[in-house]
Amino acid sequence: MATTTPNGTSTISWDDLNLLIHANHWNPFSVLGLHAYDEAGSPSLAFRAFLTDVQQAWLVDLTDGEPGIRVPLERTHADGLFEHVFSDRTQRFPYRIAVENYEGHGWEFVDPYQFGPVLTDFDLHLLAEGTHYRNFERLGAHLITHEGFRGVHFAVWAPNAMRISVVGNFNHWDGRRHPMRNCGTTGIWEIFIPDLSEGEVYKFEIKSRNHSYLVQKADPYGFASELRPKTASIVWDVNKYQWGDEEWMANRGHTQRLSAPIAVYEVHLGSWKRSFEEGNRFLTYRELADQLVTHLEHTQFTHIELMPINEHPFDGSWGYQPVGYFAPTARFGTPDDFAYFVDTLHRHGFGVIVDWVPAHFPRDVHGLGYFDGTHLYEHEDPRLGEHRDWGTKIFNYGRPEVRNFLFGNALFWLEQYHIDGLRVDAVASMLYLDYSRNPGEWVPNVFGGNENLEAIDFIKKLNELCHGEHPGVLTIAEESTSWSGVSRPTYLGGLGFSLKWNMGWMNDTLVYMSKDPVYRKYEHGALTFSLIYAFHENFLLPLSHDEVVHGKRSLLDKMPGDLWQKFANLRLLYGYMYGHPGKKLLFMGSEIAQWREWTHDESLDWHLLQWRDHQGILQLIRDLNTVYRAEPSLYEVDFEWQGFEWLELHDWENSALAFLRHARDPNDSMVVVCNFTPVVRENYRVGVPSGGYYREVLNTDAGIYGGSNVGNEGGVWARHEPHAGRPYHLSLRLPPLGVVFLKTPRVS
């Protein structure tokens, strides 16, 4: 027979009661739900529930099955503590809770405090050790079935918290309703809440031991987020999407080998194209997928690189200040929509690279900064923990749990969304302790140097992990210094990246191309210098978003001269880039010769394609990519001297260059000749190693591109007369501000 406690007194201690009603209890599972209770020396069961905004409550005893027996609960504290003692029972039994609010509306629900832990001791050990590389499978919010009930398991790392609760619409954002279980010294908290489903909005309310600092944080492992300016996380099942890219994934290792053609189209999804007819809204991931596939099929790029698509609060950061490290931004749709985006590109044969930002994170209150009332993810010392240039925080790469967070995040994108490569942003800022700092504003390492030893170790382990777990993926460093071995294997002392952006080539080339051709002969070394170090790393040649913003002008607008010369110079730049050793990257808008600088708030100027010159640039990019993909000599030996041979590098007076590109097949080569002046060079002699007919594969001055059609009428025969140390030579008609590609004859 059930009885209640006398005089409405609580069955828990005053300490527990005060902790509970003030939302300070570090272990609510020890007092809520069913618990053994000794009433006057007689063992019994006490049931307790903390229910706010409830007038009446019942425990529905399901021992004998449905519909159950309702047992009234006594309110033992005005704030909402309800209790009942079962003096005739000592064994736990199944139950639900029924409630009625002050408006007379009633409902029933399953008590989350009747469930045991979800995380195993082994999970907790690996998470605490920082070696649980699939941490995203355990932390965050997961739809699971636990002890026979369907619901959501929440788990978060916050070792300096006094109490953590899950809050959301389902509990009126009341931190007293669902305080979590503390998992001991690991610093991890968890709770399983039954009957929650996909789409629930939530945050973690954290009360810190540090002066009772109270804050609501988005889930660091949240798989989906609200659209800005809202900041909560959203429960999402990221495993339900049905992928159809098996063929791409099976062949990816071959498609992305370093001896393969890699031509990357860099895209900011929010400004590639918008829907003017609907208030200039963003296109969705699904709309973007279909339209980008059409564009990529036309332009013949091999890959797309997305500027960061992690959830971020400020559009103007372009995604480089992410908060939702595991969440594709809601600006363009749901996580399933993003999976569709990647899947669609893969099904059409295009790789997907994403910009990844482990160098820093923003200060937004709902983000990682000062997460549990301490500097948990970041360094406490501002000399180590702050990027003053960007107003951001720097990860503490020496802390195992923080490293594990980033390792797991990298693997998450590779595994969950089948991403083919990570372009790691701002690597230089990670490598150097004194990056953009004055004397006295940084702390030397233990050896007195400026190298960030913890970050270096993190980067090496990151690359080992990515390549070890997913052979064939690309890791690409945006690294702007002369650090040695960025793209060399870690077992040879390198950092282990697949590729490195060639920032030196980019800077020297754009400075040179911005000069009036009459002065270029004095800057000739800017073109030839890149070949001194071209094979020290596995380089990718970037003409990226960074070069067309902040007053730098668009690529077309950088070019000198009148209208014709500007377009000719741009065609020359692209031709030279595709002839030069290294993989290729071009930022969106550059393929249509955008006049104005890129802005993240507006669509590209697609209307420019009504004009012939802009059509010509687009056609040139298509043909350059087509030739590039078809000719092994232009990509197969990108990173060794054997793939390149100077034919003419000293003709500074005429601002001309000529070189050979070689495939692994010694009979497969391409002659590339560049004329950086607007003067037609008649009978320009270039020494070549063999005789035969040299077919003109591409000429950037062709009329179809908007050029003047100066060329060699499809090709030229080599003359058996020595020149520049070669037994044969070509007598060419060099187009003004043009590049010609000539296929060498095969030698039997």
Which helix (DSSP H) or strand (DSSP E) does residue 70 occupy?
strand 69-72
Q: Are strands 644-648 and 274-275 parallel, antiparallel or unpaired?
A: unpaired
Q: Give per-residue pLDDT as tens, 117-167.
A: 999 999 999 999 999 999 999 999 999 999 999 999 999 999 999 999 999
Residues tagged active-site? 425, 478
Q: Give per-residue pLDDT as tens, 349-402.
A: 999 999 999 999 999 999 999 999 999 999 999 999 898 888 999 999 999 999
Residue 401 to residue 128: CA distance in whole angstroms: 7
**Which pLDDT does position 595 carry in this prediction?**
96
Kindly tell me if the per-residue pLDDT of 6 is higher than 60. no
Kindly tell me if the per-residue pLDDT of 2 is higher than 70. no
Which helix (DSSP H) or strand (DSSP E) does residue 234 occupy?
strand 233-234
Closest to 487 in 3D by CA, of 303, 361, 638? 638
Q: Which residues contact 197 (CB under 8 A, 6 or more apart)?
A: 143, 152, 235
Dihedral sign computed on CA atoms, order 467, 472, 473, 476 = positive
Closest to 111 in 3D by CA, of 189, 38, 204, 28? 28
Cis, bond preceding 322 (omega within 30 deg of 0):
no
Kindly tell me if the per-residue pLDDT of 169 is higher than 90. yes
Residue 48 to residue 172: CA distance in whole angstroms: 20
Output the CA–CA distances (angstroms, integers) from residue 435 to 334, 388, 425, 452, 547, in the order listed: 37, 10, 14, 10, 21
In DSSP notation, 574-624 reads HHHHHHSSSEEEEETTGGGT-SSPP-TTS---GGGGGSHHHHHHHHHHHHH
Half-sphere exposure in the Cβ direction for 540 (13 Å, CA): 31
Q: Give per-residue pLDDT as tens, 558-592.
A: 999 999 999 999 999 999 999 999 999 999 999 99
| Mean pLDDT, the chain, whole residue set | 94
Directed axis angle between helix 563-579 and helix 612-630, to 10°?
10
Residue 560 to residue 520: CA distance in whole angstroms: 11
In DSSP notation, 642-694 reads GGEEEEE---TTTTEEEEEEE-SSTT-EEEEEEE-SSS-EEEEEEEESS-SEE
Do 35 and 48 meet the contact criterion of CB atoms below 8 Å apart? Answer: yes
Closest to 180 in 3D by CA, of 157, 149, 146, 211? 157
Polymer length of the chain:
748
The residue with greater pLDDT, 748 or 629, is: 629
**Which pLDDT does position 590 carry in this prediction?**
98
**Tokens found for residue 375:** 């500097």
Q: What is the CATH number of domain 637-743?
A: 2.60.40.1180
Q: Provide the residue ranges of all domains of the chain, joining segments of one domain with +.
A: 6-114, 121-234, 246-632, 637-743
pTM score: 0.94
Q: Give per-residue pLDDT as tens, 49-91.
A: 999 889 999 999 999 888 999 999 999 998 899 999 998 888 8
Residue 236 to residue 674: CA distance in whole angstroms: 54
Do 547 and 463 meet the contact criterion of CB atoms below 8 Å apart? Answer: no
Q: Give per-residue pLDDT as tens, 453-487.
A: 999 999 999 999 999 999 999 999 999 999 999 99
**Which pLDDT does position 53 carry in this prediction?**
87
Kindly tell me if the per-residue pLDDT of 208 is higher than 60. yes
Which letter does DSSP use for residue 500 in this model?
Answer: E
Mean pLDDT in residue range 88-95: 88
Radius of gyration of the chain from its Cα atoms, rounded to whole angstroms = 32
Q: Give per-residue pLDDT as tens, 622-656.
A: 999 999 999 999 999 999 999 999 999 999 999 99
- The answer to whether the 121-234 and 246-632 domains have the same CATH topology is no
Residue 146 to residue 571: CA distance in whole angstroms: 62
Q: How many CB atoms lie within 10 A of CB 79?
A: 14
Q: With helix as H, strand as E and coil as C, how does 191-229 read? A: EEEECCCCCCEEEEEEEECCCCCEEEECCCCCCEECCCC
**Which pLDDT does position 333 carry in this prediction?**
97
Q: Give per-residue pLDDT as tens, 172-203.
A: 999 999 999 999 889 999 999 999 999 999 99
**Which pLDDT does position 88 carry in this prediction?**
83
Give the angle 712-717-719 at the CA atoms, nearest 5°. 125
Residue 482 to residue 131: CA distance in whole angstroms: 32
DSSP bridge pairs for 662? 669
Do 480 and 436 meet the contact criterion of CB atoms below 8 Å apart? Answer: no
Q: Give per-residue pLDDT as tens, 686-728.
A: 999 999 999 999 999 999 999 999 999 999 999 999 999 999 9
Mean pLDDT in residue range 87-107: 90
**Which pLDDT does position 43 carry in this prediction?**
85
Kindly tell me if the per-residue pLDDT of 747 is higher than 90. no
Kindly tell me if the per-residue pLDDT of 414 is higher than 60. yes
Band (pLDDT 50/70/90 cuts) for residue 314 is very high
Fold annotation for 6-114:
Immunoglobulin-like (2.60.40)
Kindly tell me if the per-residue pLDDT of 8 is higher than 70. no
| Region of residue 608 (left: phi > 0; alpha: psi -120 to 50; beta: else) | alpha
**Which pLDDT does position 329 carry in this prediction?**
98
Please give the single-letter amino acid code of residue 33: G
Give the angle 561-590-541 at the CA atoms, nearest 5°. 100
Kindly tell me if the per-residue pLDDT of 746 is higher than 90. no
Which letter does DSSP use for residue 536 in this model?
Answer: S
Kindly tell me if the per-residue pLDDT of 748 is higher than 70. no
Please give the single-letter amino acid code of residue 271: S
Kindly tell me if the per-residue pLDDT of 1 is higher than 50. no
Q: Give per-residue pLDDT as tens, 19-32.
A: 988 888 989 999 99
**Which pLDDT does position 9 carry in this prediction?**
65
Residue 604 to residue 276: CA distance in whole angstroms: 12
Q: Which residues contact 409 (CB under 8 A, 6 or more apart)?
A: 136, 325, 326, 356, 358
Q: Give per-residue pLDDT as tens, 489-535.
A: 999 999 999 999 999 999 999 999 999 999 999 999 999 999 999 99
Instruction: Using a pLDDT cut of 90, give the percent of the chain over it.
Output: 89
Top CATH class, 246-632: alpha beta
Fold annotation for 121-234:
Immunoglobulin-like (2.60.40)
**Which pLDDT does position 277 carry in this prediction?**
87
Residue 420 to residue 260: CA distance in whole angstroms: 14
